[in-house]
A and B are shown apart, each in its own frame.
Chain A
Amino acid sequence: MALTRDDVQRAARLARIAIDEREADEVLGQLGRIFGMIEQMQAVDVSGVEPMSHAQEVTLRLREDAVTEPDQHALFQAIAPKVGEGLYLVPKVIE
């Protein structure tokens, strides 16, 4: 599966990272070598093996349904790039 510049640009778009053509080509070269290394995975037979998502074979712990968090919006919004009337402000969103 040879990686193309389109693949790089599509991934950059999905990841919301601006990338120009020169950068895309540079990244393509690096990623090409990295994926060459990753291809080693294809050599092993994994049929019948259960995928491993977690380091421990334990199940989800559940918390009781209780309100424990106080209002801290003033503290949180003190570090926000842009706020107004208690809201986080972003460029106009078009639905």
Chain B
Amino acid sequence: MHHSSLKSLSDALTAGDISSVELTGLFLKRINERNAVYNCFVSIDEERSLAQAREADLARAAGRAQALTGIPIAQKDIFCAKGWLTTCGSKMLSNFVSPYDAHVVERFNEAGAVTIGKTNMDEFAMGSSNETSWYGPVRNPWNTDAVPGGSSGGSAAAVAARLAPAATGTDTGGSIRQPAALTGICGLKPTYGVCSRYGMIAFASSLDQAGPMARSAEDMALMMNAMAGYDARDSTSLDRPVEDYTRELATPLKGLRIGLPKEFFADGLQPDVAKAVDEAIRQYRALGCEVVEVTLPNMKLSVPVYYVLAPAEASSNLARFDGVRYGYRTSEYRGLEEMYEKTRAEGFGAEVKRRILIGTYVLSHGYYDAYYIRAQKLRRLIAQDFIAAFDKCDVIMGPTSPSTAFRLGEKAADPLQMYLSDIYTIAVNLAGLPGMSIPCGFDSQGLPVGLQVIGNYFREAQMLQVAHQYQLATDFHLRAPSDINA
């Protein structure tokens, strides 16, 4: 049952083969048995999950079931969920029981889904390996000495290890796509503004976007149907007509133009990754797609631009964690200033502090124009490159990450090396475009490789079609780590 897709779980619930209480119990049992190995979950609340499952069973019995009713979904611990400990992977929020629901959580609740737990993540989503979490690193189910990627590493590992059928993630510079690639699952970062940011703890507000992490394109489409949609409480949420993200899945790809930016296949790309991506492109040609070369000349600047803009926004977004109204407060202090400084020095981890300092510096007097304004101008150039590229193609493809999963601790001591591992994903956030990663092969060590698919604005349904048609012809997405049942 834990290998089943969302669609088949939904069918089983409808057929009465299993109840939501049973299904939820099954996944809770797996989590209890396996979480110690992977450390995917920060909090589990069996009572709460089972209560939701009972409600789902009642709703189903009353004929009020929707596609996800009764299905367990793991929530990244960045989403506020009423009554749930919501830590964002930080000591700062290690005692924060959220008094309200994020819009995304609300949407899953309304769909009748069961929150199966809150997943581990890099602290405040700052990291690419899930090693910055105050709750310890998450291990990659394909190789427990390897990282699962980050920041949505807990969600990715939970789905890969079949501890949850699907999970939510958030992506500021690749935090859905990169861990999806490194754990052999699918992840979609929608167009900025498609999923509400209300109740999603902010890292870099102009880049953050929530999205689904699941095992297939079809499952992601069902997740998107629940997650996406307008929310008046987020000023950047876009008021657009409701979409059915499954609507294009079955359409063949014949005639689709795939753009390959030469910048995606430059130095530093692990040969096994290049090979798997090439293989995937060959498969797409076989499916009737046309391949064109495109260029994204400013993409190389996306890492420096990102490491100005994201820390700048973060330095301001994280100012609210001051020990006054919620969260951690240092135990001993003389005076207000010491309370602030100790609370924040103790409550934040090294990576978060580093980024706050970078952000504070680039916004400070005398540096604002040279760093912040220049980065915003380059952001526009990067976005314009994509707009020009989409004149020539329907989707852009390339690797999600320059390498497969690296070893725990390998890059932890060198922030700059870690930052460069997001080289292929960051530009998409800067442009606000939708981006996706799907499994497309394995390296010589048997670690999964992710294919990145970048769509034009609001073309998520087409991207899901692109993924689904590929998944009809291949089985990479069905492979599971060998030891997950051990």
Are A and B in contact, CB atoms below 8 Å, in the complex? Answer: yes
Residues in A lying within 8 Å of B, measured CB to CB: 1, 3, 7-8, 10-12, 14-19, 27, 30-31, 33-35, 37-42, 44, 46, 49-56, 58, 60-61, 63, 72, 75-76, 78-82, 88, 90-93
Q: B99, A34: Cβ atoms under 8 Å? A: no
Contact sample, A vs B, 27 pairs, CB 8 Å cutoff = A1-B370, A10-B364, A15-B360, A27-B357, A31-B354, A34-B354, A37-B304, A37-B307, A38-B307, A40-B301, A40-B304, A41-B304, A41-B308, A41-B371, A41-B375, A44-B301, A46-B378, A46-B381, A49-B377, A51-B380, A54-B236, A55-B207, A61-B232, A78-B99, A81-B326, A88-B324, A90-B339
* Residue in A7, A17, A61, A79 whose beta carbon sits within 8 Å of that of B356 in the complex: A17
* Residue in B97, B335, B344 whose beta carbon sits within 8 Å of that of A17 in the complex: B344
CB distance from B140 to the nearest CB of A (A): 26
Q: A79, B96: Cβ atoms under 8 Å? A: yes
Cα–Cα distance between A58 and B303 once the two chains are bound (Å): 25
Q: B99, A75: Cβ atoms under 8 Å? A: yes
Cα–Cα distance between A16 and B429 once the two chains are bound (Å): 29
CB distance from A53 to the nearest CB of B (A): 6
Q: A15, B357: Cβ atoms under 8 Å? A: yes
CB distance from A70 to the nearest CB of B (A): 12
A18 touching B344 in the complex, CB below 8 Å, given contacts A37-B416, A60-B235, A79-B95: yes
Extra contacts besides A1-B370, A33-B415 (13): CB < 8 Å: A15-B319, A18-B344, A34-B354, A41-B374, A44-B298, A49-B378, A56-B238, A61-B235, A78-B99, A79-B95, A80-B325, A81-B323, A91-B338
Q: B235, A91: Cβ atoms under 8 Å? A: no
Cα–Cα distance between A94 and B120 once the two chains are bound (Å): 40
What B residues does A30 contact at CB under 8 A? 354, 415-416
Cα–Cα distance between A55 and B434 once the two chains are bound (Å): 11
Q: A46, B370: Cβ atoms under 8 Å? A: no
* Residue in A15, A41, A75 whose beta carbon sits within 8 Å of that of B344 in the complex: A15
Interface residues of B in 177-210 (CB under 8 A from A): 192-193, 206-207
Q: A34, B344: Cβ atoms under 8 Å? A: no
CB distance from A84 to the nearest CB of B (A): 13
What B residues does A31 contact at CB under 8 A? 354, 357-358, 361
Q: A15, B378: Cβ atoms under 8 Å? A: no
What B residues does A92 contact at CB under 8 A? 335-336
* Residue in A15, A40, A56 whose beta carbon sits within 8 Å of that of B432 in the complex: A56
* Residue in B99, B232, B305, B333 whose beta carbon sits within 8 Å of that of A41 in the complex: B305
A56 touching B419 in the complex, CB below 8 Å, given contacts A15-B344, A91-B336: no
Residues in B lying within 8 Å of A, measured CB to CB: 95-97, 99, 192-193, 206-207, 232, 235-236, 238-239, 298, 300-301, 303-305, 307-308, 315, 319, 322-329, 333-342, 344-345, 348, 353-354, 356-358, 360-361, 364, 367, 370-371, 373-381, 383, 415-416, 419, 429-432
- Nearest B residue to A19, CB-CB: B345
What A residues does B232 contact at CB under 8 A? 61, 63
Cα–Cα distance between A7 and B361 once the two chains are bound (Å): 8
Cα–Cα distance between A11 and B148 once the two chains are bound (Å): 32
Q: B378, A27: Cβ atoms under 8 Å? A: no
Q: A91, B335: Cβ atoms under 8 Å? A: yes
Cα–Cα distance between A30 and B373 once the two chains are bound (Å): 23
Cα–Cα distance between A54 and B205 once the two chains are bound (Å): 9
What A residues does B360 contact at CB under 8 A? 11-12, 14-15
- Nearest B residue to A50, CB-CB: B380
Q: A37, B419: Cβ atoms under 8 Å? A: yes
Cα–Cα distance between A37 and B301 once the two chains are bound (Å): 10
A8 touching B357 in the complex, CB below 8 Å, given contacts A52-B376, A52-B383, A91-B335: yes
Question: Which 5 pairs between the two chains have the least Cβ-Cβ distance?
Answer: A55-B432, A51-B376, A55-B192, A18-B341, A18-B345
Cα–Cα distance between A75 and B98 once the two chains are bound (Å): 10
What B residues does A60 contact at CB under 8 A? 235
Cα–Cα distance between A56 and B432 once the two chains are bound (Å): 7
What A residues does B324 contact at CB under 8 A? 80-81, 88, 90
- Nearest B residue to A72, CB-CB: B99
CB distance from B308 to the nearest CB of A (A): 6
Q: B373, A51: Cβ atoms under 8 Å? A: yes
Cα–Cα distance between A24 and B334 once the two chains are bound (Å): 22
What A residues does B377 contact at CB under 8 A? 46, 49-52
What A residues does B354 contact at CB under 8 A? 27, 30-31, 34
* Residue in B301, B329, B335, B356 whose beta carbon sits within 8 Å of that of A15 in the complex: B356
Q: A90, B336: Cβ atoms under 8 Å? A: yes
Q: B376, A53: Cβ atoms under 8 Å? A: yes
What B residues does A17 contact at CB under 8 A? 341, 344-345, 348, 353, 356-357
What A residues does B99 contact at CB under 8 A? 72, 75-76, 78-79
Cα–Cα distance between A47 and B206 once the two chains are bound (Å): 23
CB distance from B385 to the nearest CB of A (A): 12
CB distance from B430 to the nearest CB of A (A): 8
Q: B357, A54: Cβ atoms under 8 Å? A: no
Q: A33, B236: Cβ atoms under 8 Å? A: no
Q: A44, B307: Cβ atoms under 8 Å? A: no
Q: B307, A34: Cβ atoms under 8 Å? A: yes
What A residues does B371 contact at CB under 8 A? 38, 41
